[in-house]
Amino acid sequence: MAIRSTDSIDGLTFSGEEATAFSATPSEIECEVIGLFDQFRNSLLRYALSFGLSVHDGEEVTQEVFLALFQHLRVGKSRHNLRAWIFRVAHNLALKQRQANQRLSGGRDSHEARAEKQPDLAPSPEEQVLSRQRQQHLMAVLQALPERDRCCLGLRLEGLRYREIAPVLGMSLGAVSISLTRSLARLMRANER
Amino acid sequence: MLDHWHPSDQELLLTADGELATHLAARIRSHLADCWDCRARMAEIEGTIGDFVHAHHQSFDSKLPPIAGARARLRTRLAESVRDSRPEGWFHRLFEPNARRFAYACAAAVILALGASAVYWQTVNHGFDVRVGMGLLPNRSLTPGATRPVAIGDLCSANHDQVVRSVSDTLQQRVFQEYGIRDKHIEKYEVDYLITPGLGGANDIKNLWPEPRYNTRWNSFVKDQLEDYLHQSVCGGKLSLATAQRDVAGDWISAYKKYFHTDEPLSRSSALDPSHSPGS
């Protein structure tokens, strides 16, 4: 394959690289974590909601991500590619939360649950009806994608590069590229209708 | 002048995302300057991305509560976390970062020393290639390599990555079974061609083996660099196809070191940089 990768693909393995600010105090780390929270909170929350979680659960997942990040930095673990690390933790926590919700609701089919939780669009003027229908159609296509494709698209939409998406989802760079192309083809077909 | 080749949607998307190797991206951009059909297709792709991003934000952004409350809650929880985890006494200090790092370093040194001794002993006494045991090179008896009859003109009529075909799921399962890799570990491996189809390799189980994706320096991405280079060299008339096949099938890591004049894998970008001429 000829996909470019300027960074190590296993950027999420924590061996080898140590924190540059190993002796940072808890309050310094706290400031850093809050800064990252401001930067990534909306992206992470959107990503968590794309798993069909409620806003409350999504917020909880987001909080847990940054608490985990705080501990991660406190014990001097790697700062390499923190964005990918943050999304990887969010991905795992969102999956866990969804499984817990499914258990509580008696194991309903995840598609069914997702369909129920499809986001409502805000009321729009009549002249925007067509545009709104198209948006709903695109979101329905998104929900119908296989989970891995949906996650891949969601992570790309939140600004992650292929080399960051690959370790979050445990895929190769080539598989990320194929997944995105496949999803885009479906969205294009939906857009044509 | 227009040629007969048109980039696929995947290549157009890779170009738009800035994920393609420099020389391929330049070729596609040059093609787009010539070809209105492909430019229209690129515009469709970009348009769909724009519509999707808009729809996604419309759907979710209105649901996001203001950040201030969430930030305040996080601050409180972080403060609680610091208070609750404050270490006390000498026993806790053993687990403080610096002490623990020292302990890890000692343990790692002992493990490395033992490992190096074992490798040396195996190599000296049994001629055992530890790289096979680590999966970096295929097991010769299972994967000796296999080629198909092919004309160089056919191989070189397309880029290397266009010639490479994906391995069917059934064949991948057979390879994993042959190598005794269980289901829960398969995502750590890429079933790769020993001799890539771009160099005339056959889609045959004797030419396939599970190659580690990550966690090793000599992984499948590094082998891709060598394959790209060999394909370019064969098509550029700098290397015979038979030599390229023999080198990659024999010991691809040694071949990489030989062609790239390095003992360490290069970053992908520097290996594909046209200004970098490994063979010179």
DSSP string computed for A11-49: TT--SS---TTTT--HHHHHHHHHHHHHHHHHHHHHHHH
Which residues of chain A make contact with B100, given a CB cutoff of 8 A? Answer: 75
Q: Cβ of A134 and B51 within 8 Å?
A: yes
* Per-residue pLDDT at B182 exceeds 60: yes
> Which segment, A40-44, A102-106, B93-97, is predicted with the most confidence on average?
A40-44
| pLDDT value at B215 more than 60 | no
CB contact under 8 A, A59 and B70: yes
In this predicted structure, the answer to whether residue B184 has a pLDDT above a threshold of 90 is no
Domain boundary among A76, A108, A140: A108
Domain boundary among A89, A108, A127: A108
Residues A102 and A125 reside in one and the same domain: no
Is the pLDDT at B272 greater than 80, yes or no?
Answer: no
Cα of A157 to nearest chain B Cα, Å: 7
pLDDT-derived band at B203, boundaries 50, 70, 90 = confident
A103 lies in the same domain as A53: yes
Per-residue confidence band for B81, with pLDDT thresholds at 50, 70 and 90:
confident
Question: Residue B172 belongs to what domain range?
Answer: 138-272
Nearest CB partner across the interface for B215, out of A10, A136, A188: A10
CB contact under 8 A, A5 and B14: no
The answer to whether the Cβ–Cβ distance between B214 and A62 falls below 8 Å is no
Q: Give A107→chain B minimum CA distance, Å.
A: 24
Query: Which chain A residues touch B58 with a CB distance below 8 Å?
Result: 121-122, 135
pLDDT at site A64: 94
Cross-chain Cβ contact A134/B44 below 8 Å: no
User: Do the Cβ atoms of A33 and B78 come within 8 Å?
Assistant: yes
Give pLDDT, residue A163. Answer: 92
Q: Which residue(s) pair with B191 in the sheet?
A: B210
Q: Is residue A180 part of a domain?
A: yes
> Does residue A152 sit in the same domain as residue A80?
no
Mean pLDDT for the stretch of residues B5-13? 92
- pLDDT for A58 equals 94
Contact B77 A184 (CB under 8 A): no
| Structural domains of chain B, count | 3
pLDDT at B132 over 80: no
The pLDDT assigned to B100 comes to: 62
What's the confidence (pLDDT) of residue A79?
A: 83
User: What distance in Å separates the CA atoms of residue A132 and residue A149, rounded to the nearest whole number?
Assistant: 24
Closest Cα of chain A to B53: distance in Å? 7
Contact A44, A27 (CB under 8 A): no
Number of domains within chain A: 2
User: What's the mean pLDDT in B78-86?
Assistant: 77
Taking residues A72-93, report their average pLDDT.
89
| Domain-embedded: residue A50 | yes
- Nearest by CB to residue A4, choosing from B47, B54, B269, is B269
Q: What's the mean pLDDT in B254-274?
A: 71
Q: Where is average pLDDT lowest: A54-63, B83-92, B141-150? A: B83-92
| Best mutation target, B63, B159, B164, to test chain A (most A CBs within 10 A) | B63
Residue B160 sits in the same domain as residue B206 = yes
The residue among A86, A108, A130 that closes a domain is A108
Tokens of B40: 């229209």
pTM of the model: 0.52
Distance CA B224, CA A173 (A): 12
Chain B, nearest residue to A1 by Cα: B161
Between A32 and A121, the higher pLDDT residue = A32
Does residue B231 share a domain with residue B162? Answer: yes
pLDDT computed for residue A33 by the predictor: 93
**Spatial contact of B122 and B130, defined as CB atoms under 8 Å apart:** yes
Please list the alpha-helical segments (H only) found in chain B: 9-16, 22-34, 36-60, 67-84, 89-93, 97-126, 130-133, 152-155, 160-163, 169-178, 220-235, 241-260, 268-272
Q: Return the residue of B nearest to A171 by Cα.
A: B187
Asked if the model's pLDDT at residue B128 lies above 60, the reply is: no
Give A147's pLDDT tier (boundaries 50, 70, 90).
very high
The residue count for chain A: 193
Predicted confidence at residue A28, as pLDDT, reads 85
CA closest to B267 among chain A residues: A6
Same domain, B113 and B186: no
Chain-wide mean pLDDT for chain B?
78
Pairwise pLDDT comparison (B272 vs B247), residue with the higher score:
B247
C-alpha span between A13 and A10 (Å, rounded)? 6
In a domain, B80, yes or no: no
Of B19, B52, B58, the CB nearest to A3: B19
Lowest mean pLDDT among A107-111, B39-43, B253-257: A107-111
* B81, part of any domain: no
Q: Which of A160, A162, A182 is nearest to A173 (CA)?
A: A162
Residue B148 lies in a domain: yes
Inspect the interface and report whether the beta carbons of A46 and B60 lie closer than 8 Å: yes
Residues B184, B254, single domain; the answer is yes
Give the mean pLDDT of A4-32. 53
A27 min Cα distance to partner chain B (Å): 9
- Residue B92 is predicted with a pLDDT of 54
Q: Do B224 and B121 fall into the same domain? A: no
Out of A13, A50, A138, name the one closest to residue B55 (CB): A138
Look at residue B1 in the predicted model and tell me its pLDDT.
47
Helix (H, G, I), strand (E, B) or coil at A65: helix
Residues A131 and A77 grouped into a single domain:
no
Closest-CA distance, B108 to chain A, in angstroms, reads 11
Residues A104 and A135 in one domain: no
Give pLDDT, residue A112: 43
All residues of chain B having their beta carbon less than 8 Å from the beta carbon of residue A7 are 267
DSSP B189: E
* Rounded distance between C-alpha atoms, residue B192 and residue B175, angstroms: 10
Q: Cβ separation of B54 and A135 shorter than 8 Å?
A: yes
CB atoms within 10 A of CB B65: 12
Residues B228 and B152 in one domain: yes
Higher-confidence position of B128 and B68 = B68
Give the span between the Cα atoms of A84 and A163, in whole angstroms: 9
Query: Which among A2, A59, A167 has CB closest to B161?
Result: A2
Partners of B17 on chain A (C-beta within 8 Å) are 156, 161-162, 180
Beta strand pairing call for B208-212 and B189-193: antiparallel
Distance CA(B3)–CA(B170), nearest Å, equals 37
* Residue A126: DSSP 8-state: G
Q: Which pLDDT does position A115 carry in this prediction?
A: 43
Q: Provide mean pLDDT across the span B15-24.
A: 89
Average of per-residue pLDDT across A83-90: 93
- Its domain, for residue A129, covers 118-193
Mean pLDDT (whole number) for A121-130: 59
The interface predicted TM-score of the complex, written ipTM, equals: 0.75
Q: How confident is the model at residue B69 (pLDDT cuts 50, 70, 90)?
A: very high
Q: Report the range of poorest mean pLDDT among A4-8, A86-90, B107-111.
A: A4-8
Does residue B177 sit in the same domain as residue B113?
A: no
Q: Find the residue in A nearest to B65 (Cα).
A: A55
Phi/psi of residue B190, nearest 5 degrees? -115, 125
The pLDDT value recorded for residue A7 is: 35
B127 to chain A, closest Cα gap in Å? 30
Ranges A96-100, A112-116, B200-204: which has the least confidence: A112-116
A22 contacts on B by Cβ (under 8 Å): 97-98
Mean pLDDT computed over A62-89: 90
Residues A142 and A169 both lie in one domain: yes
Amino acid in position B38: C
